[in-house]
Amino acid sequence: MLVDIVLLVFRQRGWSLRSPIKKGHRYETNGLVEGQYEPGSHRRVLRNLLGIIKKREMDRTELEEQLRAMAELVDRYDRNHQFTEDDIRGIHRIWLGAVFAWAGEYRKVNLVKENFPFAAADQIPRLMAAFEKDILKKYTPCRSGSVEEIVRALAVVHTELVLIHPFREGNGRVARMLATLMSLQAGLPALDFGGVRGWKRQEYFAAVQAGMRDDYRPMERIFISVIRRTSRKRT
């Protein structure tokens, strides 16, 4: 199982690691103070506990910590576990707690990506409480039902969490880590998201936006593709 998780994260490398900062592709933040960037990083690396100023070094550190965290999380959550708001914060903290002082804490800044605003920072506690009550309690544990029901659960949970974007950094990766834990509950192998890159990233982002209309079908199609890719890799 641990080997599957290690391979999974490396296959995600092309998608999980951030691209160079470019207007229209990098997150923009409103009201972000200069102190949140590491001095000497030219505003490319957030202020961190390790004093890292190079983006490539931070990418490598985050990946290494993600590998370690996934191994720990697989052992922590069994197939009968119902995930909670605190678990989501815990996943983020276990992953990035050694890197950022605010790991596991909800963001205090607003985030916009490609002119698409995620949930306002001051609404996150309320939205995450509703996410637990209305989504996590309904769709986790993800341990039974048809493939269609499992895909629906993965799509709804993933889309709603990404729309809230509760953390300053690492939201997509946390959502994928949660999806992997849910897939393991359902008896599926650790999901391989490596195929969601290039033009597929635009399809993915459009699927997230469709969630604003409670339309999860685009994200369901993406998860069907991810599951098929994962199955092919194992044969």
pLDDT value of residue 19: 34
Q: How far apart are CA 169 and CA 135, in angstroms?
A: 22
Q: What is the pLDDT of residue 235?
A: 62
The residue segments making up the domain with residue 62 are: 2-234
Taking the C-alpha atoms of residue 149 and residue 146, their distance in angstroms, rounded to an integer, is 5
**pLDDT digits over 52-85, tens only?**
999 999 999 999 999 999 999 999 999 999 999 9
Cα torsion through 52, 75, 173, 3, rounded to 10: 90
CATH number of the CATH domain containing 198: 1.10.3290.10
pLDDT at residue 12 tops 50: no
pLDDT of residue 17: 32
| pTM of structure | 0.85
Structural domain total, the chain: 1
Amino acid at 152: R
Give residue-wise pLDDT tens across range 94-128.
999 999 999 999 999 888 888 888 999 999 999 99
